């Protein structure tokens, strides 16, 4: 006989808004199939017939706003006429996609706890999720009486968290929250939308862009166009070589950089016709501005090549000059790498234990500027602003009101460079320092 406290735990879980998470993938798939079948029922009846025969349909689809109703095919329809089909109003589509957007926005604005190993721990609380759901229902439905039922929240949550993709969520020990740990990986927060970022070359060939970052025109010497400071792409070796050659063209031709706009409708499996967005940018002027990293063997799953091109300041900053710091899409700094960069580039004395404070205060002071990017996050750090950094350093030392002079140090030759250790994540990647090399 099951003990009373075990029965109580089971009852709490069954009543929890997290009770259907384990079925998330199956529910998400059925939901997307039903939506697509309803969209195309006037053209073909086969997808709807499969949905009607699905054993989960009768219990799941009504909780997602679907109703089994007669369908008006219209005069002269040349498809098999079904007695009834699953249909739902657009208001429910809008409600679910907006609820998913609310969760997505919250995760991006409060990314979680950064662990010493570089991983990120995120949590979602049942009470908070319920409040968001109720607020979204009120906003989208107003005073209408035909609204989603709170009892359906477990199904809605299972669909939405599955649609987000990435690392799976697990129910915390308290039963009142979800938890997941994102690995120390630039793509750890990659969302499920199924759309690659495609860059078209002058030859009309296309390359899949993983991510890119560019200085806005306001931070470039000419002030005319954005300038590319980082990009990562995958494709055949010839295409990647052509992409690199396009960037290194002496004419500094503009390249269309695609922007990945996460769309909750796409994540939920809906078909939409959206136009890709692009940012026109060109390479940084001058020689020796970039470093290349190529994988020396095809990627294991796709068999494609991979190239990463970064501005020299990522690993070779110079004293008193700005530098580039690249993070994943969540924008969380690699504090160890940031400190190494700042320690070299800043004429001021800094300590490793101040890294988090230096980053936070640098953001507040406008010394660390977020730049246009997609698939990653880029920051341009104004290391040469000694007066403003000096105030931050004095705070870290513990004398925030100090008005004295902080001793600065640097290299005798301002063009001299201190090399930073380079850690490449793809095994023995080949590194190329010569801008003109296309190997």
Let me know whether 82 and 58 are in one domain.
yes
State residue 190's pLDDT score: 60
- Is the per-residue pLDDT at 428 higher than 60? no
Q: What is the pLDDT of residues 348-395, one digit of tens each?
A: 999 999 999 999 999 999 999 999 998 889 999 999 999 999 999 998
**Quick one: tokens of 13?**
């879980």
Mean pLDDT computed over 265-291: 79
Q: Does 439 reside within a domain?
A: no
Tell me, yes or no, whether 321 lies in a domain: yes
Q: How many Å apart are CA 348 and CA 386, to the nearest integer?
A: 7
Domain assignment present for 372? yes
Span 275-295, average pLDDT: 86
Higher pLDDT, 86 or 245: 86
Q: How far apart are CA 383 and CA 339, in angstroms?
A: 11
| 318 and 281 belong to one structural domain | yes
Q: Please tell me the predicted confidence (pLDDT) of residue 191.
A: 58
pLDDT confidence band for 22 (50 / 70 / 90): very high
Last residue in a domain, options 182, 206, 223: 182
pLDDT at 325: 97
pLDDT value, residue 415: 46
Residues 173 and 212 in one domain: no
pLDDT tens-place string over residues 178-194: 999 888 776 666 655 55
Residues 144 and 208 both lie in one domain: no
**Per-residue confidence (pLDDT) for residue 329, from 0 to 100:** 80
Question: Looking at the 3D structure of the chain, how many domains does it have?
Answer: 2
Rounded mean pLDDT, 162-179:
89
Q: Using one digit for the tens of pLDDT, what is the confidence trace for 131-155?
A: 999 999 999 998 888 899 999 999 9
pLDDT top residue among 302 and 319: 319
In this structure, the answer to whether residues 143 and 286 fall within a common structural domain is no
State the pLDDT at residue 197: 80
Q: Which domain does 108 fall in, by range?
A: 4-182
DSSP track, 239-259: HHHHHHHHHT-TT---EEEEE
User: What is the overall mean pLDDT for the chain?
Assistant: 82
- The b-or-e profile of 382-413 (16+ CB within 10 A means b, else e) is bbbbeeebbbbbbbbeeeeeeeeebeeeeeee
- Check whether residue 405 and residue 260 sit in a common domain: yes
Same domain, 66 and 208: no
109 and 255 together in one domain: no
**If you average pLDDT over residues 247-271, what whole number do you get?**
78
411 pLDDT more than 80: no
**How far apart are alpha carbons 18 and 49 in whole angstroms?**
31
Other beta carbons within 10 angstroms of residue 8's beta carbon come to 10
Q: What is the pLDDT of residue 337?
A: 93
Whether residue 438 lies inside any domain: the answer is no
Q: Is the pLDDT of residue 160 over 80?
A: yes
What is the reported pLDDT for 195?
Answer: 62
pLDDT of residue 266: 75
Residue 370 inside a domain? The answer is yes
- 10 Å CB burial of residue 180 (0-12, 13-18, 19+) is middle
Which among 359, 329, 327 is positioned nearest to 342, based on CA atoms?
Answer: 359
Q: What is the pLDDT of residues 69-80, one digit of tens each?
A: 998 877 767 788
Please enumerate in sequence order all residues whose Cβ is within 8 A of that of 134, keeping only pairs 6 or more positions apart, or say none. 150
189 assigned to some structural domain: no
Question: Could you tell me the pLDDT band of residue 423, with boundaries at 50, 70 and 90?
Answer: very low
pLDDT at 429 over 90: no
Q: What does the pLDDT average to over 425-437?
A: 42
pLDDT of residue 432: 47
State whether 164 and 214 are in the same domain.
Answer: no
Residue 4 pLDDT > 50: no
Last residue of a domain, one of 142, 159, 182: 182
Are residues 233 and 374 located together in one domain of the fold? yes
Note whether 65 and 131 are same-domain residues.
yes
Q: Strand locations in 58-137, DSSP E?
A: 67-69, 85-87, 113-114, 120-125
- For the ranges 30-44, 96-110, 277-291, 392-406, the lowest mean pLDDT is seen at 392-406
Lowest mean pLDDT among 190-204, 211-225, 384-398, 411-425: 411-425
Residue 338 in any domain: the answer is yes
Average pLDDT over residues 263-292: 80
Which of 135, 159, 182 terminates a domain? The answer is 182
Output the pLDDT for position 229.
Answer: 95
- Residue 7 pLDDT > 50, yes or no? no
Q: What is the pLDDT of residue 434?
A: 45
Residue 38 and residue 33: Cα distance in Å, rounded?
Answer: 9
Overall average pLDDT of the 23-34 stretch: 94
Report in angstroms the alpha-carbon separations of 82 from 75, 110, 378: 15, 48, 53
pLDDT in tens, 215-236: 999 999 888 899 999 999 998 8
- 232 and 86 both lie in a single domain: no
Task: Flag whether 30 is in a domain.
Answer: yes
Using CA atoms, how far residue 426 sits from 157, 209, 293, 297, 422, in Å, is 36, 17, 9, 10, 12
């Amino acid at each position: 006989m099951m003990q009373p406290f075990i029965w109580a735990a089971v009852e709490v879980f069954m009543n929890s808004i997290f009770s259907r998470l384990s079925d998330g993938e199956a529910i998400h798939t059925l939901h997307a199939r039903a939506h697509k079948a309803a969209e195309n029922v006037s053209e073909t009846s086969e997808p709807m017939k499969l949905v009607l025969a699905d054993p989960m349909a009768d219990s799941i689809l009504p909780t997602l706003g679907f109703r089994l109703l007669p369908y008006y095919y219209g005069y002269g329809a040349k498809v098999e006429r079904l007695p009834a089909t699953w249909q739902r109003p657009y208001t429910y589509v809008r409600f679910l996609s907006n609820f998913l957007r609310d969760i997505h926005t919250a995760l991006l604005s409060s990314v979680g706890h950064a662990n010493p190993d570089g991983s990120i721990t995120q949590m979602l609380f049942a009470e908070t999720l319920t409040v968001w759901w109720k607020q979204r229902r009120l906003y989208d439905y107003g005073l209408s009486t035909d609204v989603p039922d709170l009892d359906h929240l477990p199904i809605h949550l299972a669909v939405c968290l599955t649609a987000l993709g990435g690392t799976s969520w697990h129910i915390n020990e308290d039963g009142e929250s979800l938890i997941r740990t994102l690995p120390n990986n630039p793509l750890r927060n990659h969302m499920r939308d199924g759309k690659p970022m495609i860059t078209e070359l002058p030859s009309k060939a296309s390359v899949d862009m993983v991510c890119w970052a560019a200085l806005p025109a306001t931070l470039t010497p000419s002030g005319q166009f954005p300038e590319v400071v980082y990009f990562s792409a995958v494709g055949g070796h010839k295409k990647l070589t052509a992409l690199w050659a396009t960037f290194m063209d002496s004419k500094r031709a503009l390249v269309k950089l695609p922007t990945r706009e996460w769309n909750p409708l796409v994540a939920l499996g809906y078909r939409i016709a959206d136009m890709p967005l692009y940012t026109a940018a060109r390479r940084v002027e001058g020689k020796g501005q970039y470093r290349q990293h190529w994988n020396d063997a095809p990627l294991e799953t796709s068999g494609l090549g991979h190239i990463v091109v970064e501005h020299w300041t990522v690993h070779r900053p110079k004293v008193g000059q700005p530098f580039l710091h690249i993070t994943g899409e969540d924008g969380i700094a690699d504090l160890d790498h940031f400190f190494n960069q700042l320690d070299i580039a800043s004429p001021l004395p800094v300590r490793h234990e101040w890294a988090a404070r230096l980053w936070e205060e640098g953001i507040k002071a406008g010394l660390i500027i977020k730049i246009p990017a997609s698939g990653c996050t880029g920051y341009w750090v104004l290391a040469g602003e000694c007066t403003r950094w000096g105030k931050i350093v004095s705070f870290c030392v513990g004398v925030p009101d100090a008005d004295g002079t902080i001793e600065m140090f640097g290299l005798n030759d301002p063009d001299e460079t201190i090399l930073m250790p380079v850690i490449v994540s793809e095994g023995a990647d080949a590194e190329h320092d010569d801008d003109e090399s296309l190997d």
